Structure 1
């Protein structure tokens, strides 16, 4: 008797996912900041035994210019094995790739040739707006019930932003996820605790507040997003809002514990208006409510104003600008990207309220311009930005561009793109792989990295 088998890249638990075979390809979003040429997804060889290691070995080019590819995700992941919404015969085959500026969503098929994905569907912005009431799609997660796409704006490009749902097989936009939105207005990231039937969302701003970069009046007026929202996942209703306070701006990346029995997660705050520091916070269950606690403060570094871009001259300091974080599959190590200073930090967060710094590298940075062993003699700009961790926790990849309109505010000379890889020791400690420095083609800049077969920010699990 023939039996259907789940996709071998689906795992019931993070513990089993961590035993998965190493990835051999990475998919990287790249965009033209001048919006003259179409953006694309580059396929990077990450197999150390390959003759083309650390090189772009494939590419798919989008149908239009000006999309600004940003964050993207898989059509299906390990959540397909969850008992509350099982669909185990799905396959991790399609990449769902939104254009943050255009509101166009591309569906790429990696099945026939993983090195040469093919566009098999394009959801035009008009269809997304008409069917869901949203625009500016930002983050993609596969989960129970379909594909969840957080969106920064409503159909008109104002607020509120929220979550649009796509059908997991046809990719048709289904509609707005929220049944009762409550006070939520700004959107950014969204993820969940499947074991606690809770969805969490964070905040940036509406499209008119971000599309031309960070607006000084809005930032200094403390009018960007600074809240977390907690939702009844099944009921699709807003339950609770936590305000970080007016000193804290840009509450961004959500990294819940992978173990579904652990009701906590981590979020970064990009900027404190008092001292330009960045911070990491833990959210957790406190009785019958959710609460947050700041666990890490990363201070700004004093600097000569002559070395600073116009936006920072008056402050005489380089802010760390923590713009991305990632959590290893065993929930032990948190990786923190400091795009301003150029640091990539590794913390042991085995105790989520008492982190310990266990590793640090520096590359690029607004002032430091630190180099890389694979690019001898070069001073580099940009800094650690989108970070992705392999399922076994031994490899960390990152790129150096934040967002087309924000890059020149902090790197006005023009940002030269690169992608690098770190090797992570089992008990802490990180070091550059000297063989892996990918000098990005000058026409485009690299952004998010996704690993073939899944990674530490792609899947959610229902079993511990």
Structure 2
């Protein structure tokens, strides 16, 4: 008799996931800004006992140019253990990798040789557009019933953006997820509270609003996204929209509580057009409806115009530009990337309405150009951008590129490529840079690096149905 057992990297609860073994490898999306060479998935050794620790140990080029790899994700995760999951015996085996500019999607198999992911399927832009009506795929989440992929554009590029669903087994595009989208038009990130049948989505802008860099006219005109949308996950209908206020431009990354008993989460806002500050907000239930409350405010830092790129010279300041956040699996620490000022902040959010700052590390920054201790004379461009946390909360990985055209605006002399690892006191808080882990420059063969996924899962890849 055949005995089926769940993938050992799946955990029914966040408590169980905290005891997972440490990751041995990290997968990193790397892209060629000139679009003359293929983008790649780069594999790094994360085992401190290995002689290759912190080094590139695998590399998979994609077959085309001009994809601009950005976000990517696993085909399956702990949500497969939810009671309603139709096929709980899927494996965390495949990386689903979208090309943000090309609208292609790739499926890479990591099982046979985790250091050499193998391309096994390509989903052309025409299939995504024809079957789901979308383009510019962005964020991937593994759901209990399929693979969900957000998209910034519609079939004709401009919109509306939304969510496409892929089949867990064949990776074919099933179609658009939304049954009734109401007036939702902009898209960006999405996440859910599986046990409450709630999906949350955020807003950025249409492809023409972002692909050539941030448009000052659109920003000052308050025309980028500034709303959160709350959906009935089972019925796939829009239930409620909350407007943060049009001065709060670009609410991007969403991080819901991992504890399935809790119905709150965090969203970061890139900037306020009133003072260039950035902020973090918490969504929560209030009298049966969702409300969104600002809980962290980070001001811009004054700077001499001569030290600023042309885009910022009229303002005489560096905006923090919160472009990513990540929440530890125990819902204890929130990490906030201030890409403009080159700072990663750590907050204790045990009380989500009263965050307490417990750590800060600076690397790069528009004016700071803070060096890594492994290379103290090298002034770094970019800043902590994409953040990924190990399942046990003890390690944090950051990469430095935001988005090709936006990199060029804020770091016109070049953003370079680097990745850093930070050790965390998961009990009291606090962060320390790991001086042994600093892949950068030629390690990435001239490509820029964006999102990281950890072998076996990480803090932003899995959702849980048991407390």
Give the TM-score band, short-chain normalised. Answer: over 0.9
CA contact (8 A) 1:395 1:423 kept: yes
Once the two structures are TM-superposed, the CA of residue 195 in structure 1 deviates from its matched residue by 1.6
Helix, strand or coil: the match of 1:405? helix
2:457 alignment counterpart: 454
1:8 alignment counterpart: 8
**For residues 342-373 of structure 1, what are the alpha-carbon distances to aligned partners after superposition, in whole Å with 9 as ceiling and x for unaligned?**
10000000000000000000000000010111
2:313 alignment counterpart: 313
2:79 alignment counterpart: 79
CA contact (8 A) 2:197 2:233 kept: yes
Once the two structures are TM-superposed, the CA of residue 159 in structure 1 deviates from its matched residue by 1.2
Once the two structures are TM-superposed, the CA of residue 145 in structure 1 deviates from its matched residue by 1.4
Q: Distance in 2 between matches of 1:443 and 1:386?
A: 19
Q: Distance in 1 between matches of 2:14 and 2:52?
A: 30
1:429 alignment counterpart: 430
- The Cα RMSD (Å) is 0.7
Q: Distance in 2 between matches of 1:109 and 1:287?
A: 46
1:161-200, aligned counterparts within 5 Å? 161-200=161-200
CA contact (8 A) 1:397 1:421 kept: yes
Helix, strand or coil: the match of 2:246? coil
CA contact (8 A) 1:395 1:421 kept: yes
Helix, strand or coil: the match of 1:435? coil
Pair 1:203-2:203 in alignment? yes
2:439 alignment counterpart: 438
1:270 alignment counterpart: 270
CA contact (8 A) 1:320 1:340 kept: yes
CA contact (8 A) 2:81 2:144 kept: no
CA contact (8 A) 1:417 1:442 kept: no
1:410 alignment counterpart: 410
TM-score by length of 1: 0.99
Gaps of 5+ in 1: none
Q: Distance in 2 between matches of 1:419 and 1:219?
A: 30
1:262-301, aligned counterparts within 5 Å? 262-301=262-301
1:313-462, aligned counterparts within 5 Å? 313-426=313-426, 427-440=428-441, 441-462=444-465
2:258 alignment counterpart: 258
**For residues 398-424 of structure 1, what are the alpha-carbon distances to aligned partners after superposition, in whole Å with 9 as ceiling and x for unaligned?**
000000110010000011110000000
Helix, strand or coil: the match of 2:437? strand
Helix, strand or coil: the match of 1:310? coil
Once the two structures are TM-superposed, the CA of residue 144 in structure 1 deviates from its matched residue by 2.3
Q: Distance in 2 between matches of 1:106 and 1:115?
A: 17
2:140 alignment counterpart: 140
1:93 alignment counterpart: 93
Q: Distance in 2 between matches of 1:363 and 1:436?
A: 14
Once the two structures are TM-superposed, the CA of residue 442 in structure 1 deviates from its matched residue by 4.7
Runs of 4+ in 1 over 4 A off after TM superposition: none
Select between 167-176 and 83-92 the one with higher mean Cα deviation: 83-92
Once the two structures are TM-superposed, the CA of residue 183 in structure 1 deviates from its matched residue by 1.1
Once the two structures are TM-superposed, the CA of residue 378 in structure 1 deviates from its matched residue by 1.3
Q: Distance in 1 between matches of 2:13 and 2:87?
A: 16
1:70 alignment counterpart: 70
Once the two structures are TM-superposed, the CA of residue 317 in structure 1 deviates from its matched residue by 0.3
Q: Distance in 2 between matches of 1:448 and 1:48?
A: 21
Q: Distance in 2 between matches of 1:144 and 1:162?
A: 19
How many residues are matched? Answer: 464
CA contact (8 A) 2:32 2:446 kept: yes
2:303 alignment counterpart: 303
**For residues 191-219 of structure 1, what are the alpha-carbon distances to aligned partners after superposition, in whole Å with 9 as ceiling and x for unaligned?**
10012110000000011111111111111
Helix, strand or coil: the match of 1:271? strand
1:120 alignment counterpart: 120
CA contact (8 A) 1:416 1:442 kept: no
Q: Distance in 1 between matches of 2:440 and 2:2?
A: 48
1:205-244, aligned counterparts within 5 Å? 205-244=205-244
CA contact (8 A) 1:424 1:431 kept: yes
Once the two structures are TM-superposed, the CA of residue 259 in structure 1 deviates from its matched residue by 0.4
Q: Distance in 2 between matches of 1:168 and 1:403?
A: 29
Once the two structures are TM-superposed, the CA of residue 246 in structure 1 deviates from its matched residue by 1.4
Q: Distance in 2 between matches of 1:190 and 1:355?
A: 23
**For residues 259-317 of structure 1, what are the alpha-carbon distances to aligned partners after superposition, in whole Å with 9 as ceiling and x for unaligned?**
00000000000000011000000000112111010000000000000000000001000
Helix, strand or coil: the match of 1:218? helix
Q: Distance in 2 between matches of 1:69 and 1:402?
A: 11
